[in-house]
Structure 1
Amino acid sequence: MNSININHRQENTSIPLEIENGLAALTRPSTPKHSLLILDKRELDRHCLAQCMAGHTDEFAIVAFGSIEEWKQKREEYPPLSAILLNVGGKMVDDPAVSEQIKSLSSEFASTPVVILADSDDFGQIVKAIDYGAKGYIPATVSIKVCVELIVLSVAGGLFVPASALFAMRHLLQSSSSTAHPLAGIFTDRQAEVVAALRRGKANKIIAYELNLRESTVKVHVRNIMKKVKATNRTEVVFKLNDLFSDSLAGSGAN
């Protein structure tokens, strides 16, 4: 067994890095009660990541393996698992091999958070990772210190996703809102409500009751709507409105 000593910058203590058969375990002199398992098939990548993370936490024993099967063969040598960090690198989460690995780990280690470390911060990939059972998604753009803190958060029961995912979600919500009212540029908000009621075949009295308006006010809205779509009667206005909605939705789907 080869042994390499690395210095921890903050505490100026020596952390033994033990390497055996391509596997690495980093521990501190005061043996932690739990371990963080790093899974990465790329040997150099997992060793470098383990070494860096060991220099930023004394909460876990950092254990790095190429697969969960390799870890199981040595599991008795390390403290109980507190979290699993699966480093997928540049692979996509929805790659069949990756998605199955996430599902398998999340199912087998139900009480242990599985956190994904990936090069991509694509919103779709993040959503899929969480859907597959991951308890967090960390983009490779964060620092080692932040990465460790986010894993601690997942151990405490939290769920982390990048800020970019929240911005993407807001954009989707805004897009959804705009597609829900495709004729917002033609009608006022109140007219749009009347339009929706007209398309459902509701009488003015019912529309007035549901929108908390006077029936005379509804009639004014209907007349203004008729002018905008160039209709001469109520039947024609409904027919033209349906055509307008159909064309608008078709146009948004083509973009």
Structure 2
Amino acid sequence: MMLSTHTGLGLERQGMFRSTERISKEETDNFDDEMQSDGNGPVEVSEGLQSVALIDNRTLRRECLRRSLVSQRISWVVAGYGSVEEWSTSEDLHPPLAAIVFHLGAQKATDAADQIKKIVSSAGALPVIVLADSDDIVQIVSALDYGVRGYIPSSVSIEVCVEAINLALAGGVYVPASSVFAIRQSITSDTSRNSRLVELFTPRQIKVADAIRQGKPNKIIAYELNMCESTVKVHIRNIMQKLKATNRTEIAYKIRDLFPSDTA
């Protein structure tokens, strides 16, 4: 009798769980059918809505992002696609396209240059926004050079992601604040270095000092700067006096932070 009671209770709980699961799925399906598209077929939407194509070759990641965007009660439809080709063949199944979001994930913009350029070319006048894990300034600038109208790092909140897309839809260009600060810091540092160099050396001495920093011998310096080797020695002597250095190695050490690391 005891066993029968427990068995009945277990079945009752199972029934409750299944009922809850069914309701949850029905609610989700209804919401998706009314408001959004998963990229696999036509969707009934209100007249006048526009769509944003989300291109991501990772199905689970794409669907998670799509549902996260939908949860923000956005005013545009999100249609998910695994590739540019899939978007091209399904475009007529959805409302007029307003923008494209290309999810790179861990891939760098520079490594996906051909894909980004292809999407930008296919989009025509429509804004293309890149979403990626990296917030490296080089990757952001490279993506902008390829023609995108926004770069969203995955470190931002879903609210910021929505606002970034809205900005692109309104004709603006979104870049993360961290990249703006990085550019500002780079400009400030370059200006500071240039000012210090001008204070210390003449234009000719700056070129000689940079050549010393790169480890070039006097003959090469004289050839590249079109001057006599004896003149190079005079410049080096004057540079040593200004820096209070005793040899070329000490010169290179003391000026190492005054020149960009990629100076050739």
For the 8 Å contact 2:42–2:94, the answer to whether it is kept is no
3-state DSSP class of the match of 1:182? helix
Counterpart residue type for residue 240 of structure 1: N
**Which residue of 229, 233, 251 corresponds with 2:256?**
251
* Residue 128 (structure 1) aligned with residue 149 (structure 2): no
Change (3 A) 1:40 1:178: same
Change (3 A) 1:106 1:29: closer
| Structure 1 Cα separation of the partners of residues 185 and 173 of structure 2 | 21
1:74 is matched with: 90
* Residue 83 (structure 1) aligned with residue 99 (structure 2): yes
Superposed counterparts of 1:99-178, under 5 Å: 99-178=113-192
Residue segments in structure 2 that go unaligned for 5+ positions in a row: 1-24, 207-233
1:14 is matched with: 31
Question: TM-score scaled by structure 2?
Answer: 0.64
1:205 is matched with: none
* Residue 52 (structure 1) aligned with residue 68 (structure 2): yes
3-state DSSP class of the match of 2:140? helix
| Structure 1 Cα separation of the partners of residues 108 and 119 of structure 2 | 17
| Structure 1 Cα separation of the partners of residues 188 and 97 of structure 2 | 41
For the 8 Å contact 2:131–2:151, the answer to whether it is kept is yes
3-state DSSP class of the match of 1:15? helix
Change (3 A) 1:181 1:243: farther
For the 8 Å contact 2:55–2:84, the answer to whether it is kept is yes
2:7 is matched with: none
1:93 is matched with: 109
Shift of 1:50: 1.1
Change (3 A) 1:139 1:5: farther
3-state DSSP class of the match of 2:54? strand
Change (3 A) 1:18 1:37: closer
For the 8 Å contact 2:164–2:174, the answer to whether it is kept is yes
Q: Quick check: which one's strand share is greater?
A: 1
| Structure 1 Cα separation of the partners of residues 204 and 100 of structure 2 | 56
| Structure 1 Cα separation of the partners of residues 42 and 155 of structure 2 | 23
1:240 is matched with: 238
Shift of 1:32: 4.6
| Structure 2 Cα separation of the partners of residues 242 and 26 of structure 1 | 75
Counterpart residue type for residue 93 of structure 1: A
Change (3 A) 1:15 1:199: closer
Superposed counterparts of 1:183-222, under 5 Å: 183=197, 192=199, 196=202
Shift of 1:123: 0.9
| Structure 1 Cα separation of the partners of residues 56 and 242 of structure 2 | 54
3-state DSSP class of the match of 2:32? strand
Question: TM-score scaled by structure 1?
Answer: 0.66
